[in-house]
Structure 1
Amino acid sequence: MSASSSSDISPLSPLGDRHFDGLADKFATSLYATSRGEIRLRLLNALLPRQLDLRGQRVLDVGGGLGQMAAWFAERGHRVTLAEPAAEMLARAREALEGQPVELIQTTLQALPEKAPGPWSLVVCHAVLEWLADPREALRILASLVAPGGQLSLMVFNRDALRLSNIVKGNLDKVLDDRLAGTGKRQRLTPISPLTHADIEAWATENDLVMEAVAGVRVFYDYLRERDPQGDTLTKLIELEHRYCEAEPYWRLGRYLLYTLRKPTIQEKDS
Protein backbone atom coordinates (compact mmCIF):
# COMPACT_ATOMS: atom_id res chain seq x y z
CA MET A 1 0.00 0.00 0.00
CA SER A 2 1.35 3.41 -0.91
CA ALA A 3 2.39 5.81 1.83
CA SER A 4 0.63 8.58 -0.08
CA SER A 5 -2.77 7.32 1.06
CA SER A 6 -4.17 9.15 4.05
CA SER A 7 -5.48 5.81 5.40
CA ASP A 8 -1.87 4.64 5.74
CA ILE A 9 -0.90 7.37 8.17
CA SER A 10 -0.42 5.81 11.58
CA PRO A 11 -2.28 7.44 14.47
CA LEU A 12 -0.62 8.31 17.72
CA SER A 13 0.04 5.40 20.05
CA PRO A 14 -1.88 5.01 23.33
CA LEU A 15 1.04 6.86 24.99
CA GLY A 16 0.72 9.72 22.51
CA ASP A 17 3.84 8.77 20.54
CA ARG A 18 4.18 8.91 16.76
CA HIS A 19 5.05 5.60 15.10
CA PHE A 20 5.62 5.16 11.38
CA ASP A 21 3.64 2.26 9.96
CA GLY A 22 2.52 3.29 6.48
CA LEU A 23 5.36 5.78 6.03
CA ALA A 24 8.34 3.57 5.12
CA ASP A 25 8.20 4.71 1.48
CA LYS A 26 8.15 8.36 2.54
CA PHE A 27 11.18 7.86 4.75
CA ALA A 28 13.06 6.02 2.02
CA THR A 29 12.33 8.52 -0.77
CA SER A 30 11.72 11.88 0.91
CA LEU A 31 14.52 11.63 3.47
CA TYR A 32 17.26 9.17 2.67
CA ALA A 33 17.10 9.40 -1.14
CA THR A 34 17.65 13.17 -1.10
CA SER A 35 20.66 15.42 -0.57
CA ARG A 36 19.56 16.15 3.01
CA GLY A 37 19.59 12.44 3.76
CA GLU A 38 22.99 12.07 2.13
CA ILE A 39 24.40 14.92 4.23
CA ARG A 40 22.99 13.41 7.42
CA LEU A 41 24.50 9.97 6.77
CA ARG A 42 27.86 11.35 5.62
CA LEU A 43 28.19 13.53 8.70
CA LEU A 44 27.34 10.62 10.98
CA ASN A 45 29.91 8.52 9.15
CA ALA A 46 32.55 11.11 10.04
CA LEU A 47 31.36 12.07 13.54
CA LEU A 48 30.57 8.72 15.13
CA PRO A 49 34.12 7.29 14.94
CA ARG A 50 35.40 10.48 16.58
CA GLN A 51 32.76 10.57 19.30
CA LEU A 52 32.31 6.90 20.21
CA ASP A 53 34.49 4.23 21.75
CA LEU A 54 34.05 1.65 18.97
CA ARG A 55 35.47 -1.69 20.11
CA GLY A 56 33.22 -4.21 18.44
CA GLN A 57 30.82 -4.19 21.40
CA ARG A 58 27.12 -5.04 21.49
CA VAL A 59 24.95 -2.17 20.28
CA LEU A 60 21.28 -1.45 20.94
CA ASP A 61 19.80 0.63 18.11
CA VAL A 62 16.60 2.19 19.47
CA GLY A 63 13.96 3.14 16.91
CA GLY A 64 16.25 1.83 14.19
CA GLY A 65 13.76 2.42 11.37
CA LEU A 66 14.96 1.22 7.97
CA GLY A 67 18.22 -0.10 9.41
CA GLN A 68 20.81 2.37 8.14
CA MET A 69 22.58 2.80 11.47
CA ALA A 70 22.31 -0.89 12.36
CA ALA A 71 24.06 -1.67 9.07
CA TRP A 72 26.73 0.94 9.79
CA PHE A 73 27.61 -0.65 13.12
CA ALA A 74 27.31 -4.23 11.87
CA GLU A 75 29.71 -3.51 9.01
CA ARG A 76 32.25 -2.37 11.63
CA GLY A 77 32.14 -5.59 13.60
CA HIS A 78 29.42 -4.85 16.15
CA ARG A 79 26.65 -7.22 17.19
CA VAL A 80 23.52 -5.11 16.88
CA THR A 81 20.01 -5.40 18.27
CA LEU A 82 17.60 -3.17 16.37
CA ALA A 83 14.42 -2.21 18.24
CA GLU A 84 11.60 -0.63 16.24
CA PRO A 85 7.85 -0.34 17.03
CA ALA A 86 6.54 -0.02 13.44
CA ALA A 87 6.05 -3.41 11.74
CA GLU A 88 6.49 -2.01 8.23
CA MET A 89 9.76 -0.27 9.08
CA LEU A 90 11.00 -3.43 10.78
CA ALA A 91 10.16 -5.53 7.71
CA ARG A 92 12.12 -3.13 5.48
CA ALA A 93 15.05 -3.25 7.87
CA ARG A 94 14.99 -7.06 7.87
CA GLU A 95 15.27 -7.06 4.07
CA ALA A 96 18.08 -4.51 4.06
CA LEU A 97 20.04 -6.26 6.81
CA GLU A 98 19.80 -9.81 5.51
CA GLY A 99 23.04 -11.64 6.27
CA GLN A 100 24.21 -9.02 8.78
CA PRO A 101 24.78 -9.85 12.50
CA VAL A 102 21.67 -7.94 13.56
CA GLU A 103 18.82 -9.11 15.77
CA LEU A 104 15.50 -7.33 15.17
CA ILE A 105 12.78 -6.91 17.79
CA GLN A 106 9.46 -5.12 17.50
CA THR A 107 9.04 -3.01 20.61
CA THR A 108 8.56 0.51 21.86
CA LEU A 109 11.26 2.44 23.66
CA GLN A 110 9.22 2.30 26.86
CA ALA A 111 9.26 -1.54 26.81
CA LEU A 112 13.03 -1.86 26.35
CA PRO A 113 13.84 -2.45 30.05
CA GLU A 114 11.82 -5.67 29.71
CA LYS A 115 12.56 -6.59 26.07
CA ALA A 116 16.28 -5.67 25.88
CA PRO A 117 17.49 -4.78 29.38
CA GLY A 118 21.22 -5.11 28.77
CA PRO A 119 23.12 -3.38 30.26
CA TRP A 120 24.53 -2.18 26.96
CA SER A 121 27.97 -0.70 26.45
CA LEU A 122 26.60 1.33 23.54
CA VAL A 123 23.02 2.52 23.01
CA VAL A 124 22.15 4.41 19.82
CA CYS A 125 18.96 6.49 19.65
CA HIS A 126 18.81 8.78 16.63
CA ALA A 127 15.80 10.94 15.72
CA VAL A 128 13.40 9.20 18.12
CA LEU A 129 12.85 11.36 21.21
CA GLU A 130 11.20 14.15 19.21
CA TRP A 131 8.43 11.73 18.18
CA LEU A 132 7.53 10.82 21.77
CA ALA A 133 5.00 12.51 24.03
CA ASP A 134 7.40 12.34 27.00
CA PRO A 135 11.00 12.62 25.76
CA ARG A 136 12.29 13.37 29.26
CA GLU A 137 11.07 10.00 30.53
CA ALA A 138 12.44 8.36 27.39
CA LEU A 139 15.93 9.66 28.16
CA ARG A 140 15.63 8.29 31.70
CA ILE A 141 14.81 4.86 30.24
CA LEU A 142 17.72 5.05 27.80
CA ALA A 143 20.10 5.98 30.60
CA SER A 144 18.95 2.95 32.60
CA LEU A 145 19.96 0.66 29.73
CA VAL A 146 23.55 1.93 29.50
CA ALA A 147 26.22 -0.01 31.38
CA PRO A 148 28.54 1.88 33.73
CA GLY A 149 31.31 3.27 31.53
CA GLY A 150 29.09 2.86 28.47
CA GLN A 151 27.91 5.47 25.98
CA LEU A 152 24.62 6.74 24.59
CA SER A 153 24.70 8.17 21.08
CA LEU A 154 21.70 10.47 21.00
CA MET A 155 20.46 12.57 18.08
CA VAL A 156 17.44 14.85 18.47
CA PHE A 157 15.50 17.29 16.32
CA ASN A 158 16.52 20.83 17.27
CA ARG A 159 13.65 23.11 18.27
CA ASP A 160 15.78 26.24 17.90
CA ALA A 161 16.69 25.28 14.33
CA LEU A 162 13.02 24.67 13.58
CA ARG A 163 12.24 28.17 14.84
CA LEU A 164 14.94 29.75 12.68
CA SER A 165 13.91 27.75 9.63
CA ASN A 166 10.31 28.95 9.96
CA ILE A 167 11.47 32.56 10.26
CA VAL A 168 13.61 32.20 7.12
CA LYS A 169 10.57 30.79 5.29
CA GLY A 170 8.41 33.73 6.41
CA ASN A 171 6.20 31.79 8.85
CA LEU A 172 6.38 34.67 11.33
CA ASP A 173 2.96 34.28 12.97
CA LYS A 174 3.66 30.59 13.55
CA VAL A 175 6.88 31.45 15.36
CA LEU A 176 5.37 34.32 17.35
CA ASP A 177 2.64 31.95 18.55
CA ASP A 178 5.27 29.21 19.21
CA ARG A 179 3.34 26.75 17.04
CA LEU A 180 6.46 24.79 16.09
CA ALA A 181 5.59 21.22 17.03
CA GLY A 182 3.66 18.93 14.72
CA THR A 183 0.45 17.14 15.70
CA GLY A 184 1.65 13.67 14.71
CA LYS A 185 -1.62 13.02 12.90
CA ARG A 186 -0.65 14.11 9.39
CA GLN A 187 1.75 12.80 6.79
CA ARG A 188 3.98 15.84 7.16
CA LEU A 189 7.00 14.84 9.25
CA THR A 190 7.19 17.68 11.76
CA PRO A 191 8.13 16.20 15.16
CA ILE A 192 5.65 16.43 18.01
CA SER A 193 8.36 17.16 20.61
CA PRO A 194 11.27 19.11 19.09
CA LEU A 195 13.97 19.60 21.73
CA THR A 196 16.53 22.19 22.75
CA HIS A 197 20.15 21.83 23.82
CA ALA A 198 19.10 23.06 27.25
CA ASP A 199 16.62 20.17 27.51
CA ILE A 200 19.32 17.59 26.82
CA GLU A 201 21.80 19.25 29.18
CA ALA A 202 19.25 19.24 32.03
CA TRP A 203 17.99 15.70 31.44
CA ALA A 204 21.50 14.29 31.06
CA THR A 205 22.40 15.79 34.43
CA GLU A 206 19.25 14.34 36.00
CA ASN A 207 20.33 10.87 34.86
CA ASP A 208 24.00 11.16 35.84
CA LEU A 209 25.15 11.20 32.21
CA VAL A 210 28.28 13.08 31.21
CA MET A 211 28.14 15.01 27.92
CA GLU A 212 31.34 14.06 26.08
CA ALA A 213 30.61 15.50 22.63
CA VAL A 214 28.02 17.50 20.72
CA ALA A 215 27.69 18.40 17.03
CA GLY A 216 25.13 19.83 14.65
CA VAL A 217 23.89 17.79 11.72
CA ARG A 218 22.89 19.96 8.74
CA VAL A 219 23.92 23.33 10.15
CA PHE A 220 23.52 25.14 6.80
CA TYR A 221 21.48 22.99 4.43
CA ASP A 222 18.02 23.71 5.84
CA TYR A 223 18.43 27.47 5.46
CA LEU A 224 19.34 27.43 1.75
CA ARG A 225 17.06 28.94 -0.87
CA GLU A 226 17.94 26.05 -3.20
CA ARG A 227 15.94 23.14 -1.83
CA ASP A 228 17.87 20.13 -3.20
CA PRO A 229 21.38 21.20 -4.28
CA GLN A 230 23.34 18.82 -6.48
CA GLY A 231 26.73 18.56 -8.18
CA ASP A 232 29.42 21.07 -7.29
CA THR A 233 27.10 23.01 -4.98
CA LEU A 234 26.35 19.90 -2.93
CA THR A 235 30.04 18.98 -2.78
CA LYS A 236 30.96 22.41 -1.40
CA LEU A 237 28.04 22.38 1.01
CA ILE A 238 29.08 18.99 2.42
CA GLU A 239 32.61 20.34 2.93
CA LEU A 240 31.18 23.30 4.86
CA GLU A 241 28.94 21.04 6.94
CA HIS A 242 31.97 18.94 7.92
CA ARG A 243 34.06 22.02 8.68
CA TYR A 244 31.59 23.73 11.00
CA CYS A 245 29.41 20.96 12.50
CA GLU A 246 31.38 20.99 15.78
CA ALA A 247 32.31 24.70 15.80
CA GLU A 248 30.65 27.47 17.79
CA PRO A 249 28.14 28.88 17.11
CA TYR A 250 27.26 26.81 14.04
CA TRP A 251 26.57 23.45 15.67
CA ARG A 252 23.70 25.10 17.55
CA LEU A 253 21.97 25.73 14.18
CA GLY A 254 21.93 22.06 13.18
CA ARG A 255 18.59 20.60 12.21
CA TYR A 256 19.64 17.73 14.46
CA LEU A 257 21.89 17.80 17.50
CA LEU A 258 24.15 14.78 17.97
CA TYR A 259 25.35 13.94 21.48
CA THR A 260 27.66 11.40 23.04
CA LEU A 261 26.61 10.86 26.65
CA ARG A 262 28.56 8.55 28.97
CA LYS A 263 27.45 6.84 32.16
CA PRO A 264 30.23 7.11 34.77
CA THR A 265 31.60 3.92 36.33
CA ILE A 266 30.94 3.16 39.98
CA GLN A 267 34.53 4.13 40.78
CA GLU A 268 34.08 7.49 39.06
CA LYS A 269 30.88 8.16 41.01
CA ASP A 270 32.61 7.31 44.30
CA SER A 271 35.66 9.44 43.60
Structure 2
Amino acid sequence: MRFSGAEGRWREGLGSLRDVVRQELVTRQLAEHLPITPCRVLDVGSGQGTQALRMAARGHRVTALDASRELLDVLESGVQPGMRVRTVQAEAERLGELFEPGGFDAVLCHGVLMYFDDPGPLLAALAGMLAPGGMLSLLVRNGDALAMRPGLLGDWAGAQRGFDEAYYRNRIGVTARADRLADLTRRLAVTGLEVRQWYGVRVFTDVAPDGAPVPGDLEELLAVEERAGRTDPYRAVAALTHLVCHAGG
Protein backbone atom coordinates (compact mmCIF):
# COMPACT_ATOMS: atom_id res chain seq x y z
CA MET A 1 0.00 0.00 0.00
CA ARG A 2 1.47 3.34 -1.06
CA PHE A 3 0.64 5.24 2.15
CA SER A 4 3.58 3.64 3.96
CA GLY A 5 6.18 6.23 4.96
CA ALA A 6 3.82 9.21 4.88
CA GLU A 7 2.75 9.00 8.51
CA GLY A 8 4.70 12.11 9.50
CA ARG A 9 3.00 14.30 6.90
CA TRP A 10 -0.36 12.83 7.90
CA ARG A 11 0.18 13.64 11.58
CA GLU A 12 1.06 17.23 10.71
CA GLY A 13 -2.47 17.70 9.39
CA LEU A 14 -4.29 16.33 12.42
CA GLY A 15 -6.46 18.95 14.08
CA SER A 16 -6.41 21.26 11.05
CA LEU A 17 -9.63 22.56 9.52
CA ARG A 18 -9.72 19.97 6.74
CA ASP A 19 -9.14 17.12 9.20
CA VAL A 20 -11.74 18.34 11.68
CA VAL A 21 -14.39 18.77 8.98
CA ARG A 22 -13.73 15.29 7.63
CA GLN A 23 -13.85 13.56 11.00
CA GLU A 24 -16.87 15.46 12.31
CA LEU A 25 -18.94 14.88 9.18
CA VAL A 26 -18.13 11.18 9.03
CA THR A 27 -19.06 10.81 12.71
CA ARG A 28 -22.42 12.52 12.19
CA GLN A 29 -23.17 10.54 9.06
CA LEU A 30 -22.28 7.25 10.75
CA ALA A 31 -24.48 8.02 13.76
CA GLU A 32 -27.58 7.58 11.59
CA HIS A 33 -26.66 4.00 10.71
CA LEU A 34 -24.95 2.40 13.70
CA PRO A 35 -27.11 0.48 16.17
CA ILE A 36 -27.61 1.97 19.62
CA THR A 37 -26.76 -1.33 21.28
CA PRO A 38 -23.05 -2.21 21.48
CA CYS A 39 -21.73 -4.00 18.41
CA ARG A 40 -18.46 -5.42 17.08
CA VAL A 41 -16.62 -2.83 14.98
CA LEU A 42 -13.54 -3.34 12.80
CA ASP A 43 -11.73 -0.19 11.70
CA VAL A 44 -9.45 -1.06 8.76
CA GLY A 45 -6.70 1.52 8.29
CA SER A 46 -7.69 3.19 11.55
CA GLY A 47 -4.72 5.59 11.52
CA GLN A 48 -4.69 7.81 14.60
CA GLY A 49 -8.03 6.31 15.63
CA THR A 50 -10.42 9.26 15.60
CA GLN A 51 -13.40 7.16 14.53
CA ALA A 52 -12.32 4.05 16.44
CA LEU A 53 -12.13 5.99 19.71
CA ARG A 54 -15.50 7.63 19.08
CA MET A 55 -17.07 4.22 18.43
CA ALA A 56 -15.52 2.86 21.64
CA ALA A 57 -16.79 5.87 23.60
CA ARG A 58 -20.31 4.92 22.47
CA GLY A 59 -19.85 1.48 24.01
CA HIS A 60 -18.97 -0.49 20.89
CA ARG A 61 -16.25 -3.15 20.98
CA VAL A 62 -13.62 -1.95 18.49
CA THR A 63 -10.75 -3.68 16.72
CA ALA A 64 -8.44 -1.14 15.04
CA LEU A 65 -6.11 -2.39 12.34
CA ASP A 66 -3.33 -0.29 10.82
CA ALA A 67 0.09 -0.93 9.30
CA SER A 68 1.68 2.02 11.12
CA ARG A 69 2.96 1.48 14.64
CA GLU A 70 3.40 5.25 14.91
CA LEU A 71 -0.29 5.94 14.29
CA LEU A 72 -1.45 3.06 16.48
CA ASP A 73 0.59 4.56 19.33
CA VAL A 74 -1.40 7.78 18.90
CA LEU A 75 -4.64 5.79 18.99
CA GLU A 76 -3.67 3.83 22.09
CA SER A 77 -2.79 7.03 23.93
CA GLY A 78 -6.41 8.13 23.53
CA VAL A 79 -8.04 5.01 24.99
CA GLN A 80 -9.93 5.87 28.19
CA PRO A 81 -10.89 3.54 31.05
CA GLY A 82 -13.88 1.44 30.13
CA MET A 83 -13.27 1.61 26.38
CA ARG A 84 -13.02 -1.77 24.67
CA VAL A 85 -10.34 -1.26 22.01
CA ARG A 86 -7.95 -3.81 20.55
CA THR A 87 -5.22 -2.71 18.15
CA VAL A 88 -3.62 -4.89 15.47
CA GLN A 89 -0.58 -3.81 13.47
CA ALA A 90 -0.92 -5.32 10.01
CA GLU A 91 -1.55 -4.48 6.38
CA ALA A 92 -5.16 -4.35 5.20
CA GLU A 93 -4.33 -7.11 2.70
CA ARG A 94 -4.07 -9.58 5.60
CA LEU A 95 -7.68 -9.30 6.77
CA GLY A 96 -8.54 -12.84 5.72
CA GLU A 97 -5.59 -14.27 7.67
CA LEU A 98 -6.24 -12.35 10.86
CA PHE A 99 -10.00 -12.53 11.42
CA GLU A 100 -12.79 -15.04 11.09
CA PRO A 101 -15.29 -14.35 8.30
CA GLY A 102 -18.50 -12.68 9.46
CA GLY A 103 -17.01 -11.63 12.79
CA PHE A 104 -18.08 -7.97 12.80
CA ASP A 105 -21.36 -6.07 12.79
CA ALA A 106 -19.76 -2.95 11.30
CA VAL A 107 -16.57 -2.38 9.32
CA LEU A 108 -15.05 1.05 8.74
CA CYS A 109 -12.59 1.65 5.93
CA HIS A 110 -11.84 5.36 5.59
CA GLY A 111 -9.19 6.83 3.31
CA VAL A 112 -7.65 3.46 2.46
CA LEU A 113 -9.08 2.29 -0.87
CA MET A 114 -7.36 5.19 -2.66
CA TYR A 115 -3.95 3.61 -2.07
CA PHE A 116 -4.82 0.38 -3.93
CA ASP A 117 -4.51 0.14 -7.71
CA ASP A 118 -7.07 -2.66 -7.77
CA PRO A 119 -9.73 -2.19 -5.08
CA GLY A 120 -11.49 -5.48 -5.84
CA PRO A 121 -9.62 -7.82 -3.46
CA LEU A 122 -9.86 -5.41 -0.53
CA LEU A 123 -13.58 -4.82 -1.12
CA ALA A 124 -14.15 -8.58 -1.13
CA ALA A 125 -12.16 -8.96 2.09
CA LEU A 126 -14.12 -6.16 3.78
CA ALA A 127 -17.41 -7.76 2.76
CA GLY A 128 -16.20 -11.09 4.11
CA MET A 129 -15.67 -9.59 7.58
CA LEU A 130 -19.36 -8.63 7.92
CA ALA A 131 -21.97 -10.64 9.73
CA PRO A 132 -25.30 -11.03 7.86
CA GLY A 133 -26.96 -7.62 7.77
CA GLY A 134 -23.72 -5.92 8.78
CA MET A 135 -22.70 -2.43 7.68
CA LEU A 136 -19.65 -1.21 5.77
CA SER A 137 -18.68 2.47 6.00
CA LEU A 138 -16.40 3.34 3.09
CA LEU A 139 -14.73 6.75 2.60
CA VAL A 140 -13.05 7.29 -0.77
CA ARG A 141 -11.66 10.09 -2.93
CA ASN A 142 -14.46 11.26 -5.23
CA GLY A 143 -13.43 10.46 -8.80
CA ASP A 144 -16.48 12.25 -10.21
CA ALA A 145 -15.11 15.57 -8.94
CA LEU A 146 -11.37 15.08 -9.27
CA ALA A 147 -11.00 18.30 -11.28
CA MET A 148 -12.66 20.46 -8.59
CA ARG A 149 -9.74 21.08 -6.21
CA PRO A 150 -7.11 21.95 -8.84
CA GLY A 151 -9.68 24.00 -10.75
CA LEU A 152 -10.63 26.07 -7.71
CA LEU A 153 -6.95 26.60 -6.95
CA GLY A 154 -6.22 27.77 -10.49
CA ASP A 155 -4.21 24.69 -11.45
CA TRP A 156 -5.64 24.35 -14.95
CA ALA A 157 -3.36 21.53 -16.06
CA GLY A 158 -4.31 19.55 -12.96
CA ALA A 159 -7.98 20.22 -13.58
CA GLN A 160 -7.67 18.96 -17.16
CA ARG A 161 -6.09 15.74 -15.89
CA GLY A 162 -8.83 15.37 -13.28
CA PHE A 163 -11.52 15.10 -15.94
CA ASP A 164 -10.00 11.97 -17.45
CA GLU A 165 -7.57 10.36 -15.01
CA ALA A 166 -8.16 8.38 -11.84
CA TYR A 167 -4.80 9.15 -10.18
CA TYR A 168 -3.71 12.33 -8.41
CA ARG A 169 -1.03 13.60 -6.04
CA ASN A 170 -2.55 14.14 -2.61
CA ARG A 171 -1.72 16.64 0.13
CA ILE A 172 0.75 14.33 1.88
CA GLY A 173 2.74 13.83 -1.31
CA VAL A 174 1.51 10.35 -2.21
CA THR A 175 0.08 9.29 -5.57
CA ALA A 176 -3.43 7.99 -4.90
CA ARG A 177 -6.47 6.81 -6.86
CA ALA A 178 -10.04 8.12 -6.91
CA ASP A 179 -13.28 6.12 -7.24
CA ARG A 180 -16.37 7.07 -9.20
CA LEU A 181 -19.65 6.41 -7.40
CA ALA A 182 -21.35 4.36 -10.10
CA ASP A 183 -18.32 2.14 -10.66
CA LEU A 184 -17.76 1.60 -6.95
CA THR A 185 -21.45 0.77 -6.42
CA ARG A 186 -21.16 -1.95 -9.08
CA ARG A 187 -18.00 -3.34 -7.51
CA LEU A 188 -19.67 -3.48 -4.10
CA ALA A 189 -22.69 -5.28 -5.53
CA VAL A 190 -20.36 -8.04 -6.78
CA THR A 191 -19.32 -8.65 -3.17
CA GLY A 192 -22.96 -8.78 -1.99
CA LEU A 193 -23.03 -5.24 -0.57
CA GLU A 194 -25.80 -2.76 -1.30
CA VAL A 195 -25.19 0.99 -1.03
CA ARG A 196 -28.00 2.25 1.22
CA GLN A 197 -26.85 5.87 1.46
CA TRP A 198 -23.98 8.05 0.30
CA TYR A 199 -22.73 11.45 1.38
CA GLY A 200 -20.25 14.08 0.30
CA VAL A 201 -17.49 15.16 2.69
CA ARG A 202 -15.74 18.56 2.38
CA VAL A 203 -17.79 20.37 -0.22
CA PHE A 204 -16.66 23.90 0.69
CA THR A 205 -13.51 23.46 2.78
CA ASP A 206 -11.41 21.10 0.70
CA VAL A 207 -9.29 23.93 -0.72
CA ALA A 208 -8.36 25.28 2.71
CA PRO A 209 -4.56 25.60 3.05
CA ASP A 210 -2.59 22.83 4.73
CA GLY A 211 -2.65 23.41 8.48
CA ALA A 212 -5.46 25.98 8.30
CA PRO A 213 -6.72 26.50 11.88
CA VAL A 214 -10.25 25.77 13.04
CA PRO A 215 -12.29 29.01 12.91
CA GLY A 216 -14.46 30.39 15.68
CA ASP A 217 -17.64 29.76 13.69
CA LEU A 218 -16.92 26.04 13.36
CA GLU A 219 -20.44 24.92 14.29
CA GLU A 220 -21.98 27.09 11.57
CA LEU A 221 -19.42 25.82 9.10
CA LEU A 222 -20.15 22.18 10.02
CA ALA A 223 -23.90 22.74 9.71
CA VAL A 224 -23.43 24.02 6.15
CA GLU A 225 -21.00 21.23 5.23
CA GLU A 226 -23.31 18.60 6.73
CA ARG A 227 -26.30 19.87 4.76
CA ALA A 228 -24.32 20.11 1.53
CA GLY A 229 -23.00 16.58 2.08
CA ARG A 230 -26.48 15.10 1.92
CA THR A 231 -27.99 17.43 -0.70
CA ASP A 232 -27.84 17.26 -4.50
CA PRO A 233 -26.04 18.60 -6.47
CA TYR A 234 -23.52 19.66 -3.79
CA ARG A 235 -22.61 16.22 -2.46
CA ALA A 236 -21.59 15.08 -5.95
CA VAL A 237 -18.73 17.60 -6.08
CA ALA A 238 -17.34 16.96 -2.58
CA ALA A 239 -13.70 15.93 -2.27
CA LEU A 240 -14.64 12.66 -0.55
CA THR A 241 -17.54 10.26 -0.94
CA HIS A 242 -18.84 8.38 2.11
CA LEU A 243 -20.81 5.22 1.26
CA VAL A 244 -22.86 3.28 3.78
CA CYS A 245 -23.41 -0.29 2.59
CA HIS A 246 -25.21 -3.32 4.00
CA ALA A 247 -24.58 -7.02 3.61
CA GLY A 248 -27.32 -9.40 2.64
CA GLY A 249 -29.14 -11.48 5.24
Query: What's the TM-score once normalised by structure 1's chain length?
Result: 0.81
Deviations 1:163-204 (A, max 9, x none): 2111222222233344662469xx834552111112221111
Matched, 1:91 2:77: no
Q: Determine the structure 1 residue equivalent to 2:94.
A: 111
Aligned counterparts of 1:156 and 1:199: Cα–Cα separation in 2:
12
Q: Match for 1:212 among 177, 196, 211?
A: 196
- Contact kept in structure 2, 1:129 and 1:135, CA below 8 Å: yes
Higher relative contact order structure (alpha carbons within 8 Å, sequence separation ≥ 6): 2
Q: Determine the structure 2 residue equivalent to 1:157.
A: 141
Larger radius of gyration: 1
Q: Match for 2:113 among 129, 132, 136?
A: 129
Change (3 A) 1:168 1:183: closer
Q: How far has the Cα of 1:60 moved from its partner?
A: 0.6
Change (3 A) 1:54 1:129: farther
Matched, 1:33 2:33: no
Q: Determine the structure 1 residue equivalent to 2:52.
A: 70
- Contact kept in structure 2, 1:52 and 1:260, CA below 8 Å: no
Change (3 A) 1:255 1:101: same
Q: Determine the structure 2 residue equivalent to 1:181.
A: 167
Matched, 1:56 2:42: no
Q: Determine the structure 2 residue equivalent to 1:46.
A: 28
Deviation larger for 43-52 or 125-134? 43-52
Q: Match for 1:193 among 174, 177, 201?
A: 177
Aligned counterparts of 2:183 and 2:173: Cα–Cα separation in 1:
21
Change (3 A) 1:224 1:183: closer
Richer in strand (by share): 2
Aligned counterparts of 1:255 and 1:219: Cα–Cα separation in 2:
6
Deviation larger for 188-197 or 65-74? 188-197
Matched, 1:138 2:122: yes
Number of aligned positions between the proteins: 245
Aligned counterparts of 2:139 and 2:26: Cα–Cα separation in 1:
10
Aligned counterparts of 2:160 and 2:238: Cα–Cα separation in 1:
21
Aligned counterparts of 2:77 and 2:211: Cα–Cα separation in 1:
31
- Contact kept in structure 1, 2:146 and 2:159, CA below 8 Å: no
Q: How far has the Cα of 1:234 moved from its partner?
A: 4.2
Q: Match for 1:169 among 143, 153, 164?
A: 153
Aligned counterparts of 1:154 and 1:51: Cα–Cα separation in 2:
13
| Secondary structure of 1:51 counterpart | coil
- Contact kept in structure 1, 2:16 and 2:210, CA below 8 Å: no
Change (3 A) 1:150 1:163: same
- Contact kept in structure 2, 1:135 and 1:193, CA below 8 Å: no
Deviations 1:74-102 (A, max 9, x none): 00001111111122222222222264311
- Contact kept in structure 1, 2:39 and 2:60, CA below 8 Å: yes
Matched, 1:24 2:10: no
- Contact kept in structure 2, 1:216 and 1:251, CA below 8 Å: yes
Aligned counterparts of 1:136 and 1:226: Cα–Cα separation in 2:
32
Deviation larger for 102-111 or 36-45? 36-45
Deviations 1:131-171 (A, max 9, x none): 12221221111111111111111111112333211122222
Q: How far has the Cα of 1:63 moved from its partner?
A: 0.4
Q: Which runs of 5+ in 1 are unaligned?
A: 1-16, 266-271
Q: Which runs of 5+ in 2 are unaligned?
A: none
Deviation larger for 143-152 or 187-196? 187-196
- Contact kept in structure 2, 1:174 and 1:180, CA below 8 Å: no
Aligned counterparts of 1:113 and 1:212: Cα–Cα separation in 2:
25
